[in-house]
Chain A
């Protein structure tokens, strides 16, 4: 029993870590641009496909392919934000969010138009899991986790120490003050649209590494991504990480008490409980 719980915990942490990457992207965009960008689903898919092209078509190994996924998804994020979402922002966060939903329908089908619906897998070996004290863990998972953690570490360093990172945090925490100080909010908006959606792309590819990809890849994970961001506190980057771990672990532990068919329902319940106790999420809404 104890080993079983420990195994579920490990599985949950692994899933949660992967989920954290797109959740950070979603929450970062919210922190700066103040609207939930539902187009994140299609950017996950775009990243997964960009990584696939790099990895399978051009034979690039997974880690550099991940960088390519970041670039392509980020570029899509930047351009669509500039031309579709930004003009909507003066009309309210929700109007913008709805436009983002329309956008995600368009982008999903752009991928479908280019690649068709067929399932694709990355060109990667699969290894048997290691076993430690009755708990198993896969080399691939450890690698994916390491990749996710390094992406997150890079992001934290960027926010903490770089000039641009500091301005981003300033805008997120107090846009009015930032404007008075003469920070170019437009530029910061562009950077966050690029980085946020780039992270979504990385997340899409990381999740695709373990499954297979098709135009619906992003849609399959997006509810969990939203859940993670909300549980942690919308707009809080460390919150997204914590939220992703909570959602990942809660879904796994739920298998102890309910049928596996209700896994998502447990994720939903977890959000409900957390938000009832803490209406602003676990870590509140301070960006960093």
Chain B
């Protein structure tokens, strides 16, 4: 029932059906069949589950997230697998619905017996599948924004690569003040982190003696003209967006039309390369974005970009799921039976605590087999985890849009 390595290769290679990829898949499949039966029987594959949103509201992110996981699986398999055991990626669609996601997770856990479920996006989906994961000793890697997730009684099985939302907002609010924001506003839809975002922004603004105003709107509307009017009555010169790309596009348009001249800032997953493509340059000019970033100049990020192809946008969620796969694979190599327990117990051994710095699982596996201690630095950050499974030590990369393209401002 599961995906074979050959098919995975071709899926990440191209988004459209191309004859070459079919041929490549056929060739890979043939090679697999030609391999001696004995070898296959000995090397029990380790299965990993991808549970990203391929349809529904998260659909704009999920496919690339899944492709990032597949890229790691292929690389590792091409290099001989994890201590001789090949990896098998099983993909399910969470449909951005907790109800559908629970059924999909059941299948991944009970039928495919995956060692890890990776890439859950919506906070509600993550919280819904989390109990299944910890009850069945399957590690769960997520990009979700709700801080409540790592507070669940998960016994160490959850790893969340999205930085704590309060910490993010505090950092970004300070950045806003440093950028000279005089009157600050926050606008976003109702999310698990809307209220905490507003509180953090308000605190920083108050401490710096800056007036602050906020507005929570209803997501997925075709226009926010009146909401924009309402927020502009406070005459802000710095507006923080709290939603995702569809809302941000509408907001950016409506702010421009209303004659807003001040600054705009958003997470990099909201003001994305897609958004810059979809809007005229003058609308996005000067908009700022931030995303979690590793301390050193990240080699993992450019490596991922190379793996996915230069035409594919590497958004923060894609970078994080790439890290999920690398972390899971290296943790499996440390020891254990190739199951979720092994991942849970070993992630921190390869993600932090010094040792040889690696930026991908293939190099990491070599070093681990050679008995070396490794410390993974990923595409989304240094990937160091607290006991609760939250990420620490992440820096942020700030970029500004100029003529429809991102220019790096700073990493701090």
Contact = CB atoms under 8 A, between A and B. Distances in A.
B99 interface: no
Given A118-B60, A119-B274, A212-B278, A263 B229 contact: no
Interface stretch (B121-129, B212-220, B320-328): B212-220
B222 A220 contact: yes
Given A7-B229, A117-B55, A212-B278, A263 B218 contact: yes
Interface string A112-124: 1000111111001
B63 A7 contact: no
A116 B15 contact: yes
A262 to B, nearest CB: 7
Interface stretch (A79-87, A252-260, A275-283): A252-260
B218 A262 contact: yes
B221 A210 contact: no
Interface string B57-69: 1011011000000
Interface string B120-148: 00000000000000000000000000000
Interface residues of B, number: 41
A220 B220 contact: yes
Nearest to A253: B226
Interface stretch (B104-112, B279-287, B342-350, B351-359): B279-287
Contact of B245 (A4, A8, A119, A252): A119
A278 to B, nearest CB: 27
Interface string A173-216: 00000000000000000000000000000000001001110111
A104 interface: no
Contacts of A263: 217-218, 221
On chain A, which size bracket covers the interface?
35 or more
B59 A117 contact: yes
The dominant DSSP class at the B interface is helix
Contact of B275 (A117, A119, A260): A119
Contacts of B283: 126
A210 B218 contact: no
Contact of A129 (B246, B257, B274): B257
Contact of A118 (B226, B257, B258, B274): B274
B184 to A, nearest CB: 19
A4 B223 CA distance: 17
Given A116-B63, A117-B60, A136-B257, 4 more contacts: A126-B253, A126-B280, A214-B246, A255-B230
